[in-house]
Structure 1
């Protein structure tokens, strides 16, 4: 018998998020205004996409998702909802998934969405995407008729649903792929509510309303195209400039509000804040291929030297949750038991960290505070992006590690350079972050066949594969609890905190963000000042 996953298309009102922390603050006073259609919505973002081809990037955000539609979506409480797929079934052996597509959906070129076009996109993803491992052990994709797609696997693959609810597997416009070829990312086209207009590198991306759009997901009250005529994403890294532009009314939505600005905005008339605990962690990635870090005493000493509470208090202004274990509380499979165990093991203890380093053969022979072993100083390099909050975190880490005899050298690089160094294993530490909706993120981070994997042992590898192949949800979560225990014991990285993502908005109505940080762009209207 097939396991049936019928996804009923229903009208959803805005729900209070469960499974993650969220809050909207109300301004001190409301300005007299009415919502209106049309106009230009301006959104600021710290991070500019490296490409708008979602099959050629490892990072997607609001600036590059609204051109496309999810195959399967998630509503405001994280539950599965229809996307371009209206229902699907999984064979008893977990090796075959059958999808039925919505009808009368069109790409931006006017070409109709069919099972054949979804098949072509999926095969391109498998062939070209740097995150093609999200597709799992696919053996073939079939279009059995115009609206039916069958995906076959060599073995059961439970995390496939997470890939389907990500934008990475969204169908791309076949006409645009043919005409643009490798330059598709410069002139992208999908089925989403926005059309690409222009990209001024280093400054902004402009999208316009998709007039033919009428297949919006059930988490959007407006099933048609956007209420606004244009959406402009401006990329502003400097925190003061972002705040100035927002306060002057040149920006309606400010993503990733600087923690230092939250209290000011909370007391600003007409401004509202949306707070959402991240479905991921900020962490220190350790290059365990280097001999220095192959000694677990050194890894554990680094973990013990770090005061996460201090980082959250001073770098994040309190807008984050200190974390010691591998998963954010918002990810299925998060174990409170393991988190408590990790906190007991790695709450800051300078003397214990020093003892571990001493036991590993490091000593203060030069008298300058930096430990030495076999004539070599304990000096390690930390790579990080130029995001101001990351630089503040790095400075705190530098001071904390100095107390136990570690010299931390801070190097700021752009994303692409860091990823190149990571792929070539040329780094010591990276101040990094992940976000995902499934505990399979631990395979993505630690799987043996992942080029950038952080660490691996035979037991860990066996469990990570078992977690992927276990279709029963309860049994699968038990596997991931053991994975978390192993990672805490081995200490192959340093979890730091789960960030509270804070978005400020003004002069608009209908603002919503789903649990995975995507703005429900269709529902937003500009306020017309009276």
Structure 2
């Protein structure tokens, strides 16, 4: 018998874009079956309903309930957590992460570094992409150059902005030269978005062909996709799964019910209000990690957010305890300063509470900045993730109390990303983490090409200098001093308004073995562990 279902949520999971606004990118899931040899012969079917294929070639198929339909995948782009999980199944870069979150060999079997400025990678022999074409040093070098080009707005661009040269002495050797040391360079290359892709993918065209453990064989818009084990994967003998069936469940309650009823084996983005239900249910595992942050981004090219006094007033107006309690059911902690985790050796206690809730000081700053009666603005969020919208509602109430009247804009997530990238907002609720656990992650929030994760138009010369000094330094003591200075500069310039960290959880049945939620900001890279995941039987349901 299936477990009782939770109450259905009345929240709509989508909202049409406003007239004149860009519409979502072409859906990743155009209805089609891909012409890959053997895909249909083994009975792979589209995900989204009970009774789909449970085995391929004698290997079990994992059923994944995914929180969002990924946007059209493009090489190197940052397209949200759901897309990144899919990318980690389809693609591999020179290096990756193991189940402990440590940098591990991937397409490169080994590497060496000279002074953190020259990195030499040795590729494994006989590598191929999913379409059978060869993967050599030429493809790896072309991908790195693409990621380094600012006009491509790659997710890992901040680690490659000092790329001097990429050389390919032979078909299995890649030599990367940087103009200055970068202590976090390998960590950035381990991000799934740094996967090596065919030359055809570097024109900006949609691309799902990679060299990862699974290949795409079928997809259906709004329903799901089917991935099959890739026999040409460099570590294919260690991949126990025959494939992964993905079903889209934008509504968190529906996603949880799909897990508890046996329709899927694992889900991402477990709703915080369901943590206790799942953790107490026999036969299920809640796998959570802390570290991701909720925050407000500003469009500093628009008045009055070009004034740091106004940005500071917004930060002081937010009641973080309310967000933690009402949005995350207590599974979060207030963050009232720069987002370097408290457990990090680089955390600065002197700025940890610099934006603590103080409505009176917020009103004083607004008056000083010329807005004694407050002002009106828009607050961009998304209808697709309830916790984003609920955070926005809580912030809306807080800002109203100091005279800032905000109107919520709630498009679907793909549109929300587009609007963020284009700077088409006043204020925006964001939920993200760093790309790496190293404090160099602050670059992703502060500099580089326009990106929905960072405040649009924010620039600060001293901030940029400190970021460069931080990755250039190799001694821990030097880095400590630099990152302390950086956190104090952030407290002064207010490039964002942090709200809280949050626990990010997957949940799965106990039949799932070997899956791991990677630590800290790497939780979004946890799809890497699917390559080592297995199922104890081939039966789905109870």
Same fold (TM over 0.5): yes
1:434-466 Cα deviation digits (max 9, x unpaired):
32213233223222x533563333322221222
State which drifts further: 265-274 or 465-474.
465-474
1:152-176 Cα deviation digits (max 9, x unpaired):
23333333223211122211245xx
Q: SS where residue 39 of structure 1 aligns?
A: strand
Q: SS where residue 346 of structure 1 aligns?
A: coil
Aligned residue number for residue 281 of structure 2: 268
Question: Is 1:122 aligned with 2:129?
Answer: no
- Alignment partner of 2:258 out of 245, 249, 261: 245
State the 1:116 CA deviation. 2.2
Say whether the 8 Å CA contact 2:182–2:471 is kept in structure 1.
Answer: yes
Aligned residue number for residue 525 of structure 1: 534
Aligned residue number for residue 26 of structure 1: none
Say whether the 8 Å CA contact 1:284–1:495 is kept in structure 2.
Answer: yes
Alignment of 1:267-346 (within 5 A): 267-278=280-291, 280-329=292-341, 334-338=346-350, 341-343=351-353, 345-346=354-355
Q: SS where residue 336 of structure 2 aligns?
A: coil
Q: SS where residue 304 of structure 2 aligns?
A: helix
1:87-130 Cα deviation digits (max 9, x unpaired):
323333x4322222223433223344322221132233334632
Report the TM-score, using the length of structure 2 for normalisation: 0.79
1:126-158 Cα deviation digits (max 9, x unpaired):
346322444222232111122211112333333
Q: 1:477 to 1:104 in 2, by over 3 A?
A: farther
Aligned residue number for residue 3 of structure 1: none
State the 1:410 CA deviation. 0.8
Q: SS where residue 119 of structure 1 aligns?
A: helix
Aligned residue number for residue 29 of structure 2: none
Say whether the 8 Å CA contact 2:273–2:329 is kept in structure 1.
Answer: yes
- Alignment partner of 1:354 out of 363, 369, 385: 363
Q: 1:456 to 1:52 in 2, by over 3 A?
A: closer
Aligned residue number for residue 44 of structure 2: none
What is the alpha-carbon distance in structure 1 between the residues aligned to residue 87 and residue 171 of structure 2? Answer: 28
What is the alpha-carbon distance in structure 1 between the residues aligned to residue 412 and residue 306 of structure 2? Answer: 27
Q: 1:110 to 1:78 in 2, by over 3 A?
A: same
State which drifts further: 387-396 or 501-510.
501-510
Q: SS where residue 143 of structure 1 aligns?
A: strand
- Alignment partner of 1:84 out of 82, 107, 117: 107
Q: Gaps spanning 5+ residues in structure 2: where?
A: 1-56
What is the alpha-carbon distance in structure 1 between the residues aligned to residue 285 and residue 402 of structure 2? Answer: 43
Aligned residue number for residue 459 of structure 2: 456
Aligned residue number for residue 234 of structure 1: 247
State the 1:37 CA deviation. 6.0
Question: Is 1:428 aligned with 2:432?
Answer: no
Question: Is 1:159 aligned with 2:181?
Answer: no
Say whether the 8 Å CA contact 1:211–1:225 is kept in structure 2.
Answer: no
Aligned residue number for residue 481 of structure 1: 484
Say whether the 8 Å CA contact 1:49–1:64 is kept in structure 2.
Answer: no
Aligned residue number for residue 368 of structure 1: none
What is the alpha-carbon distance in structure 1 between the residues aligned to residue 405 and residue 184 of structure 2? Answer: 40
Say whether the 8 Å CA contact 2:293–2:500 is kept in structure 1.
Answer: yes
State the 1:58 CA deviation. 4.1
